[in-house]
Amino acid sequence: MERINSTSLNYHLKRLFLGRKNYKSAATSSTVLYPKSIAVTRPAIFINSDLSKVNQVQQETSFDHEHLRINGGEQEFAATTAYALENVVAADGNIYKSNMKYGLRTYPDKIIIDNEFKDYSSACLMSSYMGNKYFGHWMRDDLPKYLAAVDIDTPITCVKNQTAHQASYQDILGIKPEKYLNGAIKKLTILEDYSQNEYKKQRYQMLRDKVSRKYKKSDKKGVMILRGDSGSLRNLENEQQVAEFLSYNGFDIVDITSCTVDEIISKCRVDIVVGVEGSHLGNCIYPINEGGGILTLQSPSRFNNVYKDYADCMDMNYGFVVGNESENSGFTVNLGDLEDVLNDLENSICRRHV
C-alpha separations of 156 from 49, 145, 187, 308 in Å? 46, 11, 12, 29
What CA–CA distance (Å, rounded) separates 170 from 278? 21
Give yes or no for residue 24 having a pLDDT over 80: yes
- Segment (H or E) for 72: none
C-alpha separations of 320 from 43, 48, 53, 266 in Å? 11, 11, 13, 24
Q: Tell me the percentage of the chain whose pLDDT exceeds 70.
A: 97
What CA–CA distance (Å, rounded) separates 94 from 249? 48
For 126, which DSSP code? -
What CA–CA distance (Å, rounded) separates 293 from 281? 12
C-alpha separations of 168 from 165, 171, 252 in Å? 5, 5, 22
Give yes or no for residue 171 having a pLDDT over 80: yes
Give yes or no for residue 3 having a pLDDT over 70: yes
Q: Which pLDDT does position 226 carry in this prediction?
A: 96
Q: Which pLDDT does position 159 carry in this prediction?
A: 87
Q: CA torsion 128→133→139→140, rounded to 10°?
A: -60
Which residues contact residue 327 at a Cβ distance below 8 angstroms, ignoring those fewer than 6 apart?
A: none
Tens digit of pLDDT for each residue in 88-133?
999 999 999 999 999 999 999 999 998 889 999 999 999 999 999 9
- Segment (H or E) for 153: none
Give yes or no for residue 68 having a pLDDT over 70: yes
Tens digit of pLDDT for each residue in 174-232?
999 999 999 999 999 999 999 999 999 999 999 999 999 999 999 999 999 997 665 55
What CA–CA distance (Å, rounded) separates 139 from 146? 11
Q: Domains of the chain (ranges plus CATH)? A: 2-32+79-203 (no CATH), 41-75+216-353 (3.40.50)
Within 10 angstroms of residue 336's Cβ, the number of other Cβ atoms is 9
Across all residues in the chain, what is the average pLDDT? 95
Of 46, 65, 52, 56, nearest to 303 by C-alpha is 56
* Most distant CA pair in the chain, distance: 65
What CA–CA distance (Å, rounded) separates 51 from 111? 46
Residue 328 class from Cβ within 10 Å (0-12 exposed, 13-18 middle, 19+ buried)? exposed
